[in-house]
Structure 1
């Protein structure tokens, strides 16, 4: 494929945008080469600035669960835009989508909309600290909750060691209140709690990790976290920015039958527009301003365009009884097809999948946490990424990102993808 136009646009962007991108994940730093500039998209396909057509497996990093330019969502945004794009005042549609979301998700009574998943997770942690009157939080290595200071912390040496900043600009004072745990290792979490008795406000987790590839919780890990939190007066926060309304109507709470105290949303809940949300039971949410002491605000929170897109999206998911079964079946079909051709070509790999999230790790052993994900062969992934791109398949330009399956994908698209994997595997 030819990418002359994309290369020229990237050169122009680099002059006025740091690194030429407005989010680092869009760069090709992990795989080499020049980012692809998209011109438009429809259904399961991306159309780039050079006229190439690509089958899309990132789907704007998750929200396009029904495919790009989904007509009910587009029409809802157009009609709402005709009446104004922002008011800074309450609108009826905010209540409508809140009522629908609360009806779909178990264990929540109230929800507040914000403008991004980062903002939702940041606000949820502040709310947890205010509600419990404790300062420390536990997060897991490899889980990403946005770029708020509290989350940009890497592991220290030993279970009870305070984290250290993973980015310049994050202070040691912030870092000392963030404790790093190992995903899928309940004994590690127990040790952290024992070393910080009565100091931990919350544990925040991606119930299915998506930022070290797709990594499922194993051995009832989530239920064991719930038990620990109950025993130590710690709030359990599910970051469902990726999993919410994607793995099931009620997200990971429904899928794994585990109750979270606070749930964070993004991606799907906005139908592709910038939006996030966090939700909990009455007594926790009532700690928020203006009725409680924990301050949180946003001029564009509940933006009518985002609310219109989100309401249209959630309505479709709520009324289509077979949507999640179709997504599961398509992802399973892709999984089996890719595994067969990779095995036939003697390519060392492991594939992780939960619902419509899937990732290929070029690692021999099971991938269950950040350390095992990091053991994958990154050179093989780079070759795989560029090989797939040449075959007209767009996957995440990083070995540490999940793929997202959209219902718009046909079985013909899936077969073409499996054929592409087979073609690329011969040269790996």
Structure 2
């Protein structure tokens, strides 16, 4: 694989990499910085995020949106979406889709809530059960895509309906309604839930900052913001690890190779089947992580959780620079795409703009991102 890494540009599949050059060329030196900046997958999403911040800084700057509590609110929304956007982005780089992400969120929530509430399982065991079950379903998705050679769009669309139907049926069977409550109370006394998924981190620091008058405190002296929600910590950790794997490891190189040209990658020894199945498992892991954090944050599981989140995750990945054809993308870009979602979804409530325009914004952003990414790809391939 050394030939793949030679003269490699971040975000490009091996088949799209420009050929190695020898010697110096003054013409190349004049445009290299521009091509490198313009050709980065995350360029559009970072630019879009800056524009969104400027817009809301002007229209909602004095409304508290950029106070500490406001920042935590929209960061938390962005973090939830960012977790599944990372999974969707990496899978799209490998040339596949998973439309069952949203349904997996609802189903994983039920796999935690029903055993712990109705079967008396310890919450930690229900969490492990949910992750094992979700990842097994992700493996099944990937296996069926590889074995049948059907488009992943079709296979995962089928699982979208299967899992959503199972979630609804199980919730009605056990709770006689679509919501299973009481998980939050049980989680408050569970070691695994409190350690990794429930509550905030840095509470001591925030209490000290409140007592020192650095951040806003309530009348009883407690900080208005208790700490950093764990969903934000998970988002940051997942983004760092995924970015490192894509940019600095052989596996990351293989993922780009598989998305760029699976047959060529197979011919040079890349384990195409194992890579694709593993990424479906990773996407399911991200969906279950989303569900686990949400269940303990809200204190319940619901059959309609995760509705349409698969499309939002894909949109965030596309805004972040991922191509629908595979072989190109960036986890950092997907995270900025999720950040745009969070800022707009919460920021619009701080303005006089009707919240119904949020979906219009998503559609416009998707169209602009696709057009821009197509333009960048054409410029990069022309420069080869």
Q: Shorter-chain TM-score: what band?
A: under 0.3
Give the strand-richer structure, 1 or 2: 1
Normalization by structure 1: what TM-score? 0.23
Answer 1 or 2: higher relative contact order, Cα 8 Å, separation at least 6.
2
Normalization by structure 2: what TM-score? 0.25
